[in-house]
């Protein structure tokens, strides 16, 4: 179904009329129309990917381009860029998990990923790879353990790849929370899970190219008119004398 509500609250513009909501059992997909039109390959991947799991705890998945704002002149803009998302766990008011994924781009886009930290050894020495890691040394005040944070970079080349990566990342939090996948529910493991799913998506063969017609064809609009059928009025017969 299509929502038909529009809100303007404190400069924040929310236009829900552009979102199509479809149900899959007990969960809902809320996709921006540009996502449905321009990212059909990743939309199919998302539905196939989620179908592998128990969806009873998942309320809805939203994919759009982020919230719009208005400046003093009434011009619309988006505050954030790139790829980001959120995952809400069940609460007293909302008994299901909800995932919201935003892909404003532009693309290609670099995603800063978190990697497994490098820890200092018990004897006070550091592994060799720690020398090339910039940034401060972190210290656990309770245990005194010291480590360095490690970051990587994943490049998503287009809207399809961005959707696959961020949906997989947020889905990992839900799947680990419901114990449907192994591991620890951390950002490091969520990023790694998303990287693996993106690699698998890239390895899939691309959809076949549309077959081009070797000769020009002119289509009549009536051939694709799926509206209310019009009554057919027969052409008048011409009398031959």
- Residue 138 has a pLDDT of 94
Please give the full DSSP string across the chain, using - where no structure is assigned: -B---EEEETTEEEEGGG-EEEEETTEEEEE-HHHHHH-HHHHHHHHHHHTTS--TTEEEEEEES--EEE-TTS-EEES--EEEEEEEPP-SS--SEEEEEEEEE-SSEEEEEEEEEEEPPTTS---GGGGG--SPEEE-TTT--EEEEEEEEEEE-SHHHHHHHHHHHHHHHHHHHTTSS-S--SHHHHHHHHHHHHHHHHHSPPPPPPPPPSS-----GGGG--SSPPPP-PPPPPP--
pLDDT greater than 60 at residue 112? yes
- The answer to whether residue 51 sits within a structural domain is yes
Give the pLDDT confidence of 149-185 residue by residue, as tens digits: 999 999 999 999 999 999 999 999 999 999 999 999 9
- The answer to the question of residue 148 being in a domain is no
Domain that holds residue 72: 6-106+157-205
The Cα 3–Cα 21 span in angstroms is: 8
Q: Is residue 48 part of a domain?
A: yes
pLDDT above 70 as % of the chain: 73
- What is the spatial distance between Cα 162 and Cα 118, in angstroms, rounded to a whole number? 28
What is the model's pLDDT at position 241?
A: 40
Supply the pTM of this predicted model: 0.75
Position 146 in a domain: no
Query: Tens digits of per-residue pLDDT, 77-94?
Result: 677 789 999 999 999 888
The total number of structural domains in the chain stands at: 1
Looking at the domain assignment, is residue 228 inside a domain? no
Residue 212 counted as domain residue:
no
Residue 126 maps to a domain = no
pLDDT in tens, 130-143: 888 888 899 999 99
In a domain, residue 226? The reply is: no
């Amino acid at each position: 179904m299509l929502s038909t509500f529009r809100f303007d609250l404190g400069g924040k513009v929310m236009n829900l009329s552009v979102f199509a909501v479809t149900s899959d059992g007990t969960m809902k997909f809320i996709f921006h129309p540009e996502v449905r039109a321009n990212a059909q390959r990743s939309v199919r991947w998302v539905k196939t990917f989620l179908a592998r799991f128990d969806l009873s705890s998942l309320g809805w998945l939203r994919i759009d381009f982020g919230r719009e704002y208005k400046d003093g002149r009434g011009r619309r803009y988006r505050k954030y860029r790139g790829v980001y998302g959120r995952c809400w766990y069940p609460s007293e008011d909302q008994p299901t998990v909800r995932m919201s994924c935003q892909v404003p781009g532009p693309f290609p886009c670099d995603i800063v990923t978190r990697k497994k930290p490098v820890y200092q050894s018990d004897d006070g020495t550091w592994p060799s790879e720690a020398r090339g890691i910039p940034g401060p040394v972190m210290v656990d005040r309770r245990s005194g353990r010291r480590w360095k944070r490690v970051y990587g970079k994943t490049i998503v080349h287009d809207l399809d790849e961005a959707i696959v990566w961020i949906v997989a990342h947020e889905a990992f939090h839900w799947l680990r929370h419901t114990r449907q996948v192994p591991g620890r529910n951390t950002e490091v493991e969520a990023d790694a899970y998303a990287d693996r799913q993106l690699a698998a998506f890239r390895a899939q063969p691309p959809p076949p190219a549309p077959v081009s017609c070797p000769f020009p064809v002119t289509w009549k609009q009536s051939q694709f008119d799926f509206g209310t059928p019009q009554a057919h009025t027969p052409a008048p017969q011409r009398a031959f004398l």
